Amino acid sequence: MTKSKSAYSTPSKLGKLDTHIIVVWVDNESGVLARVVGLFSGRGYNIESLAVAEIDNKQNISRITIVTTGTPQVIEQIKLQLKKLVPVHKVADFEREDKKVIFKEMALLKIVANQAKIKKSLNACKKYNPVILDKTNKSVVIQVTALRREIDKMTKNLKPLGLVSASRTGAVAMTRGAEIFK
Amino acid sequence: MSKLISGAEIVFKALEDQNVEFIFGYPGGAVLPIYDELKNHKKIKHILVRHEQGAGHAAEGYARSSGKPGVVLVTSGPGATNVVTALTDAYMDSVPLVCISGQVPTHLIGTDAFQECDTTGITRPCTKHNWLVKDINDLPKIMHRAFEVATTGRPGPVLVDIPKDIQFAKTKYSKPKKEKKLNGKIKTKFNQKDIDQLINLMIKAKKPIFYTGGGVINSGPKASELLRELVNITGFPITSTLQGLGAFPGDDSQFIGMLGMHGTYEANNAMHDCDLLINIGARFDDRITGKIDEFSPNSKKVHIDIDPSSINKIVKVDLAIVGDVAEVISSTTKSLKNKNLNLEKSNKQKISSWWEKIQKWRTKKSLDYINSDKIIKPQHAVQRLYELTKNRDTYITTEVGQHQMWAAQHYPFSKPNRWMTSGGLGTMGYGLPAAVGVQIAHPKKLVVDIAGEASVLMTIQEMSTAVQYNLPIKIFILNNQYMGMVRQWQELLHEKNYSESYSAALPDFVKLAEAYGCVGIRAKTPGELDEKIQEMIDVDKPVIFDCCVDPHENCFPMIPSGKPHNQMLLGPKDQEENKITGKGKTLV
């Protein structure tokens, strides 16, 4: 290790990193996304994916879903810091492995290939609710919804079958059952 | 039906409704409508500074010494960017500021217009919240909300950016609604269970300590009174952070001095060895904790703070009580009394050996230095200043560096709101404009900026402000011709390579004072020091005091690099045995 002459302490050992899905309900006003994202970048937190849209146009509420990784301490800080932002109403935090919560991502996949390969591709997507949005003689656009790692795997598998373009959303989350997060 | 009034007038109406008496500012193209309106509002006095950073720090000094929010008014573009340092400073030290900035007219936003900048974008990370007012109808509500956010919960700066066309546009004014919410949004209330748990810990403790911070000051003068009562009835020792000085009397026997990097031997050792650490309104700053892994290793830790995000941020605690410091202390004291637990008596034996230990540490006299009769030692200068001013209600501000630490070590405070220093951000150039703000808030009081010659030059232009408003601030410069703290670190950590820390050209501060139209005084020898300080105090004009001190003095004690609290570096005598080595260098 090279000798640092920094005026600050060297970092102590890093704890275990967990992946969490943070859901934030915010006032849909200009700059609110910049506040949330700026908090993450300013404090060195990680954003793996991000999904934002207005969910209530009467009350002007948007729902931001952020997938992030961090030590338990960092995750706790993320929640507390988010709650301090003035336009934030509430913050939910789910572990990725949480069975009570549904996580989904959507992807649009364009495959350019011969009919045989296209058929193979569609077959490969079968498990992930494929919808054909566009079809020509030599191409197809498929919409799938699945988990991040499933889409990761699928795009890898579809490459040799003619996948030329993939467009993906960030993850969105919803609790199972009748309860809602308060 | 109320009549339609302009945005500029609404700004003043809102300020009047918040009982604002002073605004610190500097005019420019994009705020001219607001400046035009100023003449119609005699209750509000504008203090014209010489640089917008000065306006921000002056507002901070005003806020910290008066407990009221400071108000800043600047123009767009450079006006706004110049105030960013002060906003960040206020954000780090939790000072309530409301900054109003002009902006180019809405139709020009985004066109790179003259003196346009993305003010809300630039200030987003250094304010609690900010607003760009795009619709005149939102202005009254936003103005009221700005004050609410700045002053509630953990206080801090906010900014309202008002485009010029909005300042001209008209709407109806609505008064602020009266409701007090914590943090502007979250209503946090601790419960009696937390207090009972705290009391249980206090009863069990054999080596307890209170570690108090700026939160006590921010909670208002009542909090300091309550703290004194609590410390008194428990008999526990108390240490304070830099920002918390004055919340508890500095000359009380239970006060064991400031803690942290340049804290006393007894305070740091007590922090390390204690079995119960009660943090009241402090935030485990890295200048306090030293090496985190070895920070107070054997203690139960309690953290009382109004900001939930301060808890477990750096140090994991056993008991967290989220709430206003004054309320928590008051409930604790009440519960103690209800249970008729006079800890002082029942616990006296239990903690008597703890006190003995502390007394032993005290005999190290860690703040001692080798005085001289030939050259003024900076510590001696601060001590003399204290002796000659202690009988008046004196307000002290500082710049940043060695002089700041010496001031903290050698100038004890007996009341809150008397000590204004830039702790979190460490802003050189803070003290002079802050003194301007303090003097505005307390016109008859003695206000001294204990300064360094390097720091003070960063905002020296504000002397002109002091002269304009007849503010008799005293700029007490400990002039060692070096950026002293930089030089000290270079000496200790960088093999005495004094890279760029010596100011080979400095102004003649006495002549400089005269050029500004104030009084210049110079002291060169210890023999003439008292007489000169007295002269400074007696002059009813702003003074620049050039105190020529030993340029090679270092600030001790010091927690050396990579070491925990209980391995401090003491003064010159102790140094030989405690050389900083290898890995430790990284940890200053």
> Is pLDDT at B186 greater than 60 in this prediction?
no
Per DSSP, the three-state class of B497 is: coil
Q: How far is CA B227 from CA A48, B93, B236, B247, B255, in A?
A: 46, 20, 11, 8, 12
Give the DSSP H/E element, type plus range, for residue A63.
Answer: strand A61-70
> Is pLDDT at B579 greater than 70 in this prediction?
no
Measured distance CA(B231)–CA(B75) in Å, rounded: 47
HSE-CB for B333 with a 13 A CA cutoff: 17
> Is pLDDT at B348 greater than 90 in this prediction?
no
3-state SS, B197-259, equals: HHHHHHHHCCCEEEEECHHHHHCCHHHHHHHHHHHHHHCCCEEECCCCCCCCCCCCCCEEEEC
A9 contacts in chain B (CB < 8 Å): 286, 291-292, 562, 586-587
pLDDT digits (tens, 9 = 90+) for B318-346: 999 999 999 999 999 999 988 876 666 66
Structure tokens at B352: 């008597």
Cis peptide bond prior to B557, omega within 30° of 0: yes
List of residues 6+ apart from A132 with CB closer than 8 A: A122, A140, A141, A142, A143
- Position B343 scores a pLDDT of 65
- Of residues B180 and B558, the one with the higher pLDDT is B558
User: Quick one: closest CA in B to A79, which residue?
Assistant: B309
Q: How confident is the model at residue B185 (pLDDT cuts 50, 70, 90)?
A: very low
List of residues 6+ apart from B83 with CB closer than 8 A: B52, B53, B55, B56, B72, B74, B99, B101
B132 contacts in chain A (CB < 8 Å): 30-31
* Percent helix / strand / coil, chain B, rounded to 5: 45, 15, 40
Question: Looking at B85-89, B168-172, B561-565, which range is the least confident one?
Answer: B561-565
- Position B42 scores a pLDDT of 96
Measured distance CA(A131)–CA(A122) in Å, rounded: 9
Annotated catalytic residue within B9, B37, B52, B553: B52
Is residue B409 within 8 Å of residue B255, measured between CB atoms?
Answer: no
> Is pLDDT at B181 greater than 60 in this prediction?
no
Measured distance CA(B124)–CA(A43) in Å, rounded: 13
Q: How far is A153 from chain B (nearest CA, A)?
A: 37
Is residue A34 within 8 Å of residue A42, measured between CB atoms?
Answer: no
- Position B563 scores a pLDDT of 77
Q: B220: phi > 0 → left, psi -120 to 50 → alpha, else beta; which? A: left
pLDDT digits (tens, 9 = 90+) for B381-432: 999 999 999 999 999 999 999 999 999 999 999 999 999 999 999 999 999 9
Q: Which residues of B398-431 are buried (b: 16+ CB within 10 A; e: fewer)?
A: bbbbbbbbbbbbbbbbeebbbbbbbbbbbbbbbb
- Position B188 scores a pLDDT of 60
CA A141 to mean position of chain CA atoms: 22
B314 contacts in chain A (CB < 8 Å): none
DSSP assignment, residue B464? Answer: H
> Is pLDDT at B260 greater than 80 in this prediction?
yes
Ranges assigned E (strand) in B314-467: 319-322, 394-398, 419-420, 446-452
Scanning the structure block, which residue is given the tokens 């919240």?
B129
Q: How far is A106 from chain B (nearest CA, A)?
A: 31
Residue B388 CB-density burial (10 A; 0-12 exposed, 13-18 middle, 19+ buried): middle
Is residue B326 within 8 Å of residue B219, measured between CB atoms?
Answer: yes
Per DSSP, the three-state class of B184 is: helix
Contacts of residues B40-44 at CB distance under 8 Å and 24 or more positions apart, as own/partner, are B40/B9, B40/B12, B41/B12, B41/B15, B41/B16, B43/B16, B44/B12, B44/B15, B44/B16, B44/B20
What are B479's strand-pairing partners? Answer: B548
pLDDT digits (tens, 9 = 90+) for B201-221: 999 999 999 999 999 999 999
pLDDT digits (tens, 9 = 90+) for B120-138: 999 999 999 999 999 999 9
Contact A86 B286 (CB under 8 A): no
- Residue segments in chain A with a per-residue pLDDT below the cut of 50: 1-4
Q: What angle do CA B362, B365, B367 make, to 5 degrees?
A: 125
Q: Is B114 a catalytic residue?
A: yes
- pTM comes to 0.94
DSSP assignment, residue A169? Answer: P
Beta strands at B319-322 and B276-280: parallel, antiparallel or unpaired: unpaired
Is residue B306 within 8 Å of residue B182, measured between CB atoms?
Answer: yes
- Position B50 scores a pLDDT of 98
Measured distance CA(B569)–CA(B572) in Å, rounded: 9
Residue B564 amino acid letter: P
User: Quick one: closest CA in A to B120, which residue?
Assistant: A31
Measured distance CA(B228)–CA(B209) in Å, rounded: 14
Q: CA dihedral defined by B300, B306, B308, B313, rounded to 10 degrees? A: -50
What does the pLDDT average to over B459-472?
A: 98
- Position B347 scores a pLDDT of 67
Which residues of chain B approach chain A closer than 8 Å at the C-beta? 120-121, 124-125, 128-129, 132, 134, 149, 183-186, 286, 291-293, 307-309, 311-313, 316, 489, 493-494, 562, 582-583, 585-588
Measured distance CA(B554)–CA(B369) in Å, rounded: 10
Beta strands at B543-548 and B474-479: parallel, antiparallel or unpaired: parallel
Q: How far is CA B370 from CA A154, B85, B367, B559, in A?
A: 75, 37, 10, 20
Closest CA to B123 of A38, A47, A88, A83: A38
What are A101's strand-pairing partners? Answer: A175
Q: What angle do CA A52, A58, A63 make, to 5 degrees?
A: 20
- Position A179 scores a pLDDT of 85
Contact A7 B583 (CB under 8 A): no
| Candidates B124, B585, B586; nearest CB to A38 | B124
Q: A115: phi > 0 → left, psi -120 to 50 → alpha, else beta; which? A: alpha
B183 contacts in chain A (CB < 8 Å): 84
Scanning the structure block, which residue is given the tokens 């960063």?
B458
Please state, rounded to an integer, the average pLDDT across all residues of chain B. 93
HSE-CB for B309 with a 13 A CA cutoff: 16
Q: Is B485 a catalytic residue?
A: yes
Scanning the structure block, which residue is given the tokens 């002009």?
B102
Residue B562 amino acid letter: G
Q: How confident is the model at residue B184 (pLDDT cuts 50, 70, 90)?
A: very low
| Candidates B286, B309, B585; nearest CB to A80 | B309
Annotated catalytic residue within B53, B116, B143, B164: B164
Per DSSP, the three-state class of B25 is: strand
Q: How confident is the model at residue B273 (pLDDT cuts 50, 70, 90)?
A: very high
Contact A86 B149 (CB under 8 A): yes
> Is pLDDT at B584 greater than 70 in this prediction?
no
Q: How far is CA B472 from CA B21, B436, B516, B518, B556, in A?
A: 20, 9, 13, 9, 32
Scanning the structure block, which residue is given the tokens 């859901």?
A23
Q: Is B164 a catalytic residue?
A: yes
Residue B108 CB-density burial (10 A; 0-12 exposed, 13-18 middle, 19+ buried): middle
Q: Is B22 a catalytic residue?
A: no
